[in-house]
Structure 1
């Protein structure tokens, strides 16, 4: 039986592990773009551009992520994780230097494109390295802590960005400068996992990675991930901003979600031990359904916060759990490609979600969006009872 002393010893070992700290720093870099969201209006004023032109900055930033997501892991498998991670963080940080020196809208667009090129290597390789460096219980601890740190950053960065953007549209970009020394830390401080690097022909290698997606459990987990990102990007991140008439509360609503998501993330290992991974997935979609029903009936700041908090609890469970379930299902030498394919599922969910719920918004208004999201959550819950089986 695992004792409190054993648990404490495991955490102390993690605290002494340099790779653990470097990966967490890189994870913080991967979400730094959120510091820019509050600056969009100031950017529009500074460059005298319209709201849709400001929105194009996000589109340009997203394009490389869609294109590169399927290939970043493949490259990491073949030339090494550390190189890709360090280079991605360096590109990400250098883009901010170009941004703060941009004197035209075109240059600013190019800087967003550059930052988007750096992003996929951060997100994908972090997950791959957690799979490489850690096994079993340690992996669960690391994934939970890593997710909690990222969620905390998602709560803090918009607040920092809002304060800095109030002084100048350029100031939030200075936060992203921190990616440069962290990139150097990754280059020179992070260990390269001792795995066989793929040097063979690319097509058989990709085919091998894809064969693992014939596994019923992988298909089920990937489908869950797709549903999560469809609900997150298509419903919550878009329509939570419209549930209150006072726009000053928008940042608070998003911050509440991020803060509450940290709670189950740091507890993911004991939660898995107590309830099991599959049941945690099902609990997530129950929480989502409850949250969206609350969202459809928001009448005050308090109920809006309840909506955000319950949804945050679900996100805090599912984000680490889905990767904990997925990582053991691929061998080391194709893990990069395997996770890249999974990341593509996330991007597809992010792309389809806004279209799906946008259609519902036109047809049924804001309550209809949330009721539709609740219905999707219930459907996924029911499907998980049938197809998401332990160890299969």
Structure 2
């Protein structure tokens, strides 16, 4: 198999695009979905949980997926995961019970935990050095572009009915044949000796994992809270809400495409410093916003920051993880990534009972500036 062929790359990128659409495709549906289930106690909290609930099950399943693919191979589970993705993802269209919809979202999460762990591990297996660095940036960029397409479609479809965007999850079935045609078990992985339990990654990898969780707790505020923030500013069209969230995703794609060139000039710590600073600018801008356009500017800054943070974290983990336990470590990366998304609304809902969304954005911007300074200090220590 030629890993440089466009068919192999396109297939990996298509499977990767399912990850981001799994969570945020239905963002624009949340306000109308809340109205539909308004007869339930805590309807708003339950509906927001529909968006983030897959994250918990991605986090749980990714660890197991990583262990399995290290032992039995990378590709055995991928086809099953894509079928489960379509079944679980479309549940909101077919079901009238919010708790059954949450069960469907759990199934969606399990499928993503498996598929994302597999494709991210394949990127590490198929590509090395500069080629890996470049492809990781392209992978995140294409995921973002896929997010733009599905968020925007979700916004327009939500104006028909909040249930219709759930049908977009059938996209995984269209990708399924290509995974069997073009993806093969990597040769270098097959040559690796049986797992030695004494093999471990450097301890700093846990610092990277925790950092991944923090950045997703913060960034996931955009799809969860911005729809409600825009409603409070008088924006009623769900399509406009979809465009706002898609703007963040689009500009994360722009910076992710540039990641390889940025990484050539900066080390891992400097890239994190830059990314967090851009996100801080974004949240400050949203905090002072009084119009739709100001919110758009804010989400653009957050997108630019996140676009370099994600590939930077992924590449750092790939570099730190020995090939013998690469699947396990990338499974952990996936776990911390989506645990952050799941925890985001849970941690922030209590805060929103005592402060406004604008005040929350101020608090988040201060935290982001602190994180940016932390990585700047780590860079200075590394330089010494």
Q: Which range, TM-score by smaller chain? A: 0.7 to 0.9
1:128 and 1:20 map into 2 onto residues whose CA distance is 14
* 1:225-374 correspondence to structure 2 within 5 Å: 225-233=212-220, 235-241=221-227, 242=229, 244-248=233-237, 249-374=240-365
Q: Which residue of 1 aligns with 2:208?
A: 221
Closer, same or farther: CA 264–98 of 1 in aligned 2, 3 Å: closer
1:56 and 1:238 map into 2 onto residues whose CA distance is 9
Q: Which residue of 2 aligns with 1:81?
A: 74
Secondary structure of 1:81's match? coil
Q: Which residue of 2 aligns with 1:184?
A: 177
Closer, same or farther: CA 61–355 of 1 in aligned 2, 3 Å: closer
Closer, same or farther: CA 302–341 of 1 in aligned 2, 3 Å: same
2:323 and 2:383 map into 1 onto residues whose CA distance is 19
The superposition leaves residues 168-191 of structure 1 with CA deviations (integer Å, 9 ceiling, x where unpaired) of 555434332221241232134201
Gaps of 5+ in 2: none
Closer, same or farther: CA 354–133 of 1 in aligned 2, 3 Å: same
Q: Which residue of 1 aligns with 2:86?
A: 93
Verify the 8 A CA contact 1:87 1:183 in the aligned structure 2: no
Verify the 8 A CA contact 2:58 2:334 in the aligned structure 1: no
1:349 and 1:46 map into 2 onto residues whose CA distance is 28
1:18 aligns with 2:4: no
Secondary structure of 2:184's match? coil
1:147 aligns with 2:140: yes
1:114 aligns with 2:107: yes
Secondary structure of 1:212's match? coil
Indicate the larger mover: 160-169 or 68-77: 160-169
1:196 and 1:43 map into 2 onto residues whose CA distance is 47
1:69 aligns with 2:62: yes
Gaps of 5+ in 1: 1-12
Verify the 8 A CA contact 1:90 1:179 in the aligned structure 2: yes
* Residue 129 (structure 2) aligned to one of 123, 127, 136: 136
Q: How many residues align?
A: 372
Q: Which residue of 2 aligns with 1:9?
A: none
* Residue 387 (structure 1) aligned to one of 368, 378, 383: 378
Cα RMSD, aligned residues only: 3.2
* Residue 16 (structure 2) aligned to one of 27, 40, 54: 27
1:252 and 1:139 map into 2 onto residues whose CA distance is 31
1:161 aligns with 2:136: no
The superposition leaves residues 312-371 of structure 1 with CA deviations (integer Å, 9 ceiling, x where unpaired) of 110111111111222111122211111112222223433444344444434443333122
Q: Give the TM-score of the pair, scaled to structure 1.
A: 0.83
* Residue 124 (structure 1) aligned to one of 93, 117, 127: 117
Closer, same or farther: CA 43–270 of 1 in aligned 2, 3 Å: same
Verify the 8 A CA contact 2:48 2:345 in the aligned structure 1: no
The superposition leaves residues 4-28 of structure 1 with CA deviations (integer Å, 9 ceiling, x where unpaired) of xxxxxxxxx9873432111011012
Q: Give the TM-score of the pair, scaled to structure 2.
A: 0.84
